[in-house]
Structure 1
């Protein structure tokens, strides 16, 4: 009886010692991190879970709506299209399809050699129509965007289709030479500037029967986004929330689409602007995610780049979307957007911020 009692007593003491030690260690760890840090970590877990659920939902929708994800390739001889990020992934597939429409395609990419290799592969696949030229474009540099736009303006009088496709996702924090977070610049701000600079050529190309078209290749991730106007670069965060930054940049594209279409209609410009979600596509966009380690999973469940390009091309060349400017498409179907995109105050704040960051006085100053 005494021995049994002592054993229980000793075990109780040991548990108290161990528990106290663990509590002390936890307290020390907690004290080395601020409350803000732990709140951010919790927030990061929540946003990651939301991304996973959204990705699963979109995977299912891609399967359910696959029969709608198709497009014709109408003859567009003489029409000029500009595709950013056109040397790889979805962009390369978009270029291929536009050449099938016999268009003159200007490919913007970081390395001319990569663009040349892409065109070579397209020609070897049997596509003989259209014409392709390659200009250097680094969307992380606003200076490079200006040079790219000026090169186009020196050689062309009209641009019938502008496809703002270049993008990056979930990258570690990186600041561009212009002082902005890189996902914000590559995905949104560079395309805002390019759109403004090519506005004269778009106006020259459009008619009221056949509008020039701007397509912003966005993402379902915009549904999770907010525009952090007080801290676009997320300087104030203890750890950089790359998933939030990505969603922010994609939401900005959709807000820009909604806002600019309204302005086009008020000013009666012969241009339409659209946003598209390509779907969950098997490209190197996922290189900064854990899914990259599961290539077989991507091969089975994700769209191919060609299937991911279809909605973009559908919106770029098909007559039936002529009067649906400002819309957001997925699997060639018009789809609902984040309600924030329709908020007029948010639209105006984003326009003001974008003009300030690109050093423009007006989105139409080049007209």
Structure 2
């Protein structure tokens, strides 16, 4: 079999590049995927009760990048959705990211008002303050609050999720969920926030529906290396695996998911509830909040992070970045292979960031041919 392009992986990076190459270069593209489905970790499907569930954790699309939004909107209509998350702190459910509403949920009114005033005076209303920066404050009230938030919300969750203390991670991770000096309870504040109207699986099907694209599931690309002749490759899998771990394995965090269908209308008040300090799981997601479906029953999912298993999250820290750079040097020597995506670039990308990188890579490919 002779193919112009082989693309390893059918997630956002692979699907975007497959569509761009097939459409603008009119080239034959073979997408090779190890799993039994397209969509990568954004894959969703209807469970036995008819509720659309995200098999690899909740995926809420959010972005400020209009070109990314416009591109994906070619393949789906959207259901506007603002994700809200609560965290269980001292037996109370409070909004996260931690904000001014969280203050009043946890502290007596007088103390909450004093802390609110101190935050606004120090940082200004509407500011987003990383927890580690807040802990540097020399003001007594703010240091008390910073230590409280760190201990009750950040420390336990980070330890479970990453197997590391917050200080041991790159600031890009701890800064993803800052303290908001506002009363906005939404988990994200991006301009565009939504769920594909008919699910991610349908979105990916439309992206890969071009007649120049063929998809091969349940297949490791190494199984077909000697059977398929191709001119170029896009690789979106783990970069260390591609080079047979010649410098050792890059660390990743994995997840285990526990699903349950319940004979009740609702299980919790919002889409996701975090458990920073209790239990072995980090959070519970109830999918009807995300999909807007109306059913008498409901479906939930508990997430258990652990070190082994399929790679989900690169672990950003100086030591791992140094190891990745060794692999990147090898990748740069591969003249006909392009490495793109969270695992191939060892970056903790959001979905919109992956699409953005893939679109920019596609532009580079088009300019170079």
State TM-score, norm by structure 2.
Answer: 0.30
Greater relative contact order (Cα < 8 A, sep 6+): 2
Normalising by structure 1, what TM-score?
Answer: 0.30
Look at both structures and tell me which one has the larger radius of gyration over its CA atoms: 1
The structure where strand makes up a greater share of residues is: 2
